[in-house]
Structure 1
Amino acid sequence: MTDIRSSVRADLLDTVSARHGGLIPAAALRESGLNSHAVEALVRDGSLVRPRRGLYVPGETWRSADPDERYRLYVRATAAMAARPIVVSHLSAATLHGLPTIGHWPRTVHTLNLDASGGSTARHQTSHRGGPDPELQVIDGVLVTSLARTLIDVAAATSFLIGVVMIDDALRVDRERVASAARRGILLPAALTKALLFAELAAVSPRFGARQANRAIEFGNALSANGGESMSRVRIFQLGFEVPELQVPFRNVEGRDYWVDYYWRRVRKIGEFDGMQKYTRGRVLAGRDPGEVVWREKRREDALRRHSDSFDRWDWDTALSPVLFDRFLRERGVPRA
């Protein structure tokens, strides 16, 4: 009987959650026949998690969510509970746009105050002065700054590293969108370019961080395949090493074409960022056995070694640490800029 009640309760929570886009208002639980005591019991046993007072998430959804997904839920919950409509901006808008970051997401939700001349911080919100009226859009029911404005705000207010990581990702996604349409015979204009970002930077004209944002746009490159590759490229530049070419093709290597993450042509050196997702993530594996993926990668590396003078790999922890990465690059003879 207990198992039946648990199954009915789980089905009820899943239904209410689906109806409300993953965030369950307290009122919806009451309408489903759960009083405050029953809701508190569900919170205590982990069936529900309360990211913000008055809003709940199924416990299994919260426990299986990664930090990006949890922060998105927190941003959506904060917007839903705001006393008046808010405009989500900066890193909080970035997470709703699906942009990657390096390090932790903030503890508050960043918003634009279009009427303020300065910023402020409350318990759940960090407010920034609005500046020129931003272009806005709605994502998951939340009013957010446009992608271009978000990239400028982040690049100016955070760090060169985070700015480049997000700009690289946005440029890559749009480039892939245009390329995918072209393969179907559809010609689409680019929705995001460096020229557009430079124009947005000029329009926003941030009081602080304008030069840093300008450098991040200049350094941005749509060929970086993921956040780890972007981070590595920034570190290589910041540590004073020669910035390599990206996604360089090696044609007809033992009958196949390969692309490498980094290539220092002058010294015929190949470099690869080795994110663990290529061996562990379902979407990347595409139904293949992880052992098969490792074996194919080994064959690829052996083939490429015969067409270069050296082949080196590094992982996330190495690239994240300037000290470790500097030692790694020096020991492997990466040329100085």
Structure 2
Amino acid sequence: MTSPQDITAAGIPLRRTTEDGVPTNDAPLVFRRARAGEYVRVRPGVFAPAERWNAASRDDRFCASATALALTSRTDPVFCRETALVLYGLPLISRPGILTLRASSSSVAGSLKREKPKGATWPLFNERRISVPRAWSGLPTGQLHPFQQRLLSGSSLVLEDLRMCLADTLPRLPWEDAIVVADALLSGLRNSPANLPAVMARPWTVQDLASLAKTSSTQKAAHRLRRIAAFASPLSGSPGESWSRVVIDRLGFEPPELQHRVRAADGRLLGILDFWWQGLRLAGEFDGKRKYAGGNSYSGRDVHPVILDEKLRSERIQEEGVRFVRWMWDDLTSPRRLEAKLLRAGVPRR
């Protein structure tokens, strides 16, 4: 049975033990169950069933922690930097380990460490409050207005304005993360909470990305934002494809064509390839787990028909004299492995 104090965030049930500062009737029971390790105290006053909390993915626990923090704050906290990007549904390779918020003043800026509570397999996410960049002090108030993001649970979180968040965060990210985010903006592809298939948002233009440099805090940051806009592409179909482009470029290989359409002699479309080297008639394919992960895949389909369709597609394309080179996440985390595969396939250096 649920109560007004129950809320579900990213698929994790949360139980509040106070309402408007007053303890709920079942608070003593929740505290007893937490002492027994049956509940995890996510934040003071917010608990989750230990079994559900420990079985949840890291991303879901991160989103639920942000919700718990918002539920227990006296004023609406404004999430910023990588935390806001995740809550906006933008992908990151390096998932944030800290909940980052804007400090209401420099006097409250700082970090707060959360100890792992009884019953939790995983440590809690710490918090960090950071001041507004000095370079933004002269900007109109409306430009800094936070955005309210409504979650599936019906609760809402306050996120920093997306443009300001990107101008502040993208230059700080590792290059591969910055390109993954930029490609997602240009393609319109977003993640969604609670393990649902990816969703679409309004795609940005390259000019939209480049214009972020106007609100960057330093000249160095502005230069990096322009470089990010120049490298980004709306044709990357997943974070893995975006990361692949970065690694291929770093290794010095000839850049491939993206989303190449292969047709039969009669004009029938046989498939769309992630990467294509025309002179070699070579297709490059990134095979990420999410491609086949059932309801969590980009198609939302079950895994077995997806694998069968992929096999038949590859066979049809190979009949047209196309070779394939395939790689996965492990080849991107160990770039020399991808380098060896591309060299064996004959991909030239630029």
User: What TM-score range do you get, normalising by the shorter chain?
Assistant: 0.7 to 0.9
> Does the CA contact (< 8 Å) of 1:148 and 1:192 recur in 2?
no
Q: Deviations over 1:255-302 (max 9, x none)?
A: 443111111113221000101223232254968653333222112112
> What amino acid maps onto 1:35 in structure 2?
A
Alignment counterpart, residue 71 of structure 1, candidates 57, 62, 74: 62
Q: Partner of 2:117 in structure 1?
A: none
Alignment counterpart, residue 243 of structure 1, candidates 247, 252, 255: 255
> Does the CA contact (< 8 Å) of 1:247 and 1:260 recur in 2?
yes
Structure 1 residue 303 displacement after superposition: 1.6
Q: CA 1:71–1:206 in 2, change beyond 3 Å: closer, same or farther?
A: farther
> Hey, what's the Cα distance between the residues in 2 that align with 1:208 and 1:112?
22
Q: CA 1:333–1:41 in 2, change beyond 3 Å: closer, same or farther?
A: farther
Structure 1 residue 98 displacement after superposition: 0.8
With 326-335 and 224-233 compared, the bigger mean Cα shift is at 326-335
Q: CA 1:166–1:66 in 2, change beyond 3 Å: closer, same or farther?
A: same
> Hey, what's the Cα distance between the residues in 1 that align with 2:223 and 2:278?
30
Q: Deviations over 1:9-55 (max 9, x none)?
A: xx237x6423899543321598653233x213322555532222222
Q: Gaps spanning 5+ residues in structure 1: where?
A: 1-10, 176-188
> What amino acid maps onto 1:158 in structure 2?
L
**2:102 is aligned with 1:90:** no
**2:102 is aligned with 1:112:** yes
TM (norm. structure 2) is 0.77
Q: Partner of 2:196 in structure 1?
A: none
Task: Using the aligned pairs only, state the percent identity.
Answer: 27
Q: CA 1:113–1:208 in 2, change beyond 3 Å: closer, same or farther?
A: farther
SS at 1:105 equivalent:
coil
> Does the CA contact (< 8 Å) of 2:286 and 2:328 recur in 1?
yes
**2:187 is aligned with 1:172:** yes
> Hey, what's the Cα distance between the residues in 1 that align with 2:305 and 2:76?
51
Q: CA 1:174–1:104 in 2, change beyond 3 Å: closer, same or farther?
A: closer
- After TM superposition, the structure 1 = structure 2 runs for residues 210-221 of structure 1, keeping only pairs within 5 Å, are 210-221=222-233
SS at 2:7 equivalent:
helix
Q: Partner of 1:4 in structure 2?
A: none
SS at 1:138 equivalent:
strand
Q: CA 1:109–1:284 in 2, change beyond 3 Å: closer, same or farther?
A: closer
> Hey, what's the Cα distance between the residues in 2 that align with 1:278 and 1:19?
27
**2:177 is aligned with 1:162:** yes
SS at 1:270 equivalent:
strand
**2:32 is aligned with 1:18:** no
> What amino acid maps onto 1:315 in structure 2?
M
Q: Partner of 1:57 in structure 2?
A: 48
With 90-99 and 146-155 compared, the bigger mean Cα shift is at 146-155
Q: Partner of 1:178 in structure 2?
A: none
> What amino acid maps onto 2:148 in structure 1?
V
Alignment counterpart, residue 233 of structure 1, candidates 222, 233, 245: 245
Q: CA 1:236–1:19 in 2, change beyond 3 Å: closer, same or farther?
A: closer
**2:288 is aligned with 1:275:** yes
> Hey, what's the Cα distance between the residues in 2 that align with 1:209 and 1:168?
18
Structure 1 residue 315 displacement after superposition: 0.9
> Does the CA contact (< 8 Å) of 1:172 and 1:225 recur in 2?
yes
Q: CA 1:165–1:46 in 2, change beyond 3 Å: closer, same or farther?
A: farther
Structure 1 residue 94 displacement after superposition: 0.5
Alignment counterpart, residue 139 of structure 1, candidates 149, 156, 160: 149
> Hey, what's the Cα distance between the residues in 1 that align with 2:35 and 2:8?
23
Q: CA 1:18–1:121 in 2, change beyond 3 Å: closer, same or farther?
A: closer
Q: CA 1:198–1:279 in 2, change beyond 3 Å: closer, same or farther?
A: closer
Structure 1 residue 166 displacement after superposition: 0.9
Structure 1 residue 200 displacement after superposition: 2.2
> Does the CA contact (< 8 Å) of 1:231 and 1:320 recur in 2?
no
With 320-329 and 87-96 compared, the bigger mean Cα shift is at 320-329
Whose helix proportion is higher, 1 or 2?
A: 1
Q: Gaps spanning 5+ residues in structure 2: where?
A: 114-126, 151-155, 191-200
Q: Partner of 2:25 in structure 1?
A: 33
- Greater RCO structure (CA 8 Å; 6+ sep): 2
> Does the CA contact (< 8 Å) of 1:88 and 1:143 recur in 2?
yes
With 237-246 and 302-311 compared, the bigger mean Cα shift is at 302-311
> Hey, what's the Cα distance between the residues in 1 that align with 2:290 and 2:8?
32
Query: How many residues of Structure 1 are paired with residues of Structure 2 in the alignment?
Result: 311
> What amino acid maps onto 1:33 in structure 2?
N
Q: Partner of 2:235 in structure 1?
A: 223
